[in-house]
């Protein structure tokens, strides 16, 4: 298990922007102007640390009616396939559960559908393009 900190945007901004720029903008070609949005300010940001550095990030945005959206999940390439993404996602789901969230949604890149399915998310609707990458919505309902 790696340490995870839950932070507000002002606390998380420097590390989260660095990770997201490397993963989304440089590796995946997402336009820089699409990477940051108005939801960052009100989100809760999870930052995971490995070898004394921030290795990954994700955010949870509270929606209406007991729902939340998890997104902007990114792990640096040298730390992938080590369970950090699962740990980030599970931490945000547990945080949301403690806050009364009963339903989580996310916009999964098609290449990551299997990862989210293993963690209990179910695909919903059609595949669509977002920021030049194919995505599909996924839902997790807590019992």
Quick: pLDDT tens for 20-39.
999 999 999 999 888 889 99
pLDDT (0 to 100) of residue 41: 96
Q: Which residue has the tokens 């599909």?
A: 136
Predicted local distance difference test score (pLDDT) of residue 1: 86
What local confidence, expressed as pLDDT, does residue 143 receive?
78
What pLDDT is stored for residue 44 in this prediction? 98
Asked if residue 35 lies in contact with residue 41, where contact means CB atoms within 8 angstroms, the answer is no
CA 107 – CA 72 distance, rounded (Å): 9
CA distance readout (Å), 51 to 6, 21, 88:
18, 20, 16
The pLDDT value recorded for residue 17 is 96
The reply to whether CATH 3.40.630.30 applies to domain 4-108 is yes
Residues of the chain falling short of pLDDT 50: none
Q: Quick one: pLDDT at residue 94?
A: 97
What is the pLDDT, as a whole number, of residue 25? Answer: 95
Domain ranges in the chain?
Answer: 4-108
């Amino acid at each position: 298990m790696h340490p995870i900190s839950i932070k507000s945007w002002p606390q998380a901004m420097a590390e989260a922007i660095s990770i997201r720029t490397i993963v989304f903008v440089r590796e995946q070609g997402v336009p820089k102007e699409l990477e940051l949005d108005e939801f960052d300010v009100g989100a809760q940001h999870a930052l995971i640390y490995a070898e004394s550095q921030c290795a990954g990030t994700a955010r949870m945005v509270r929606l209406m009616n007991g729902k939340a959206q998890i997104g902007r999940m990114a792990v640096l390439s040298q730390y992938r396939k080590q369970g950090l993404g699962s740990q980030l996602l599970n931490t945000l789901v547990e945080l949301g559960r403690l806050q009364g969230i009963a339903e989580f949604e996310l916009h999964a890149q098609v290449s990551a559908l299997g990862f989210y399915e293993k963690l209990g998310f179910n695909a919903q609707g059609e595949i669509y393009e977002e920021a030049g990458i194919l995505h599909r919505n996924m839902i997790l309902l807590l019992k």
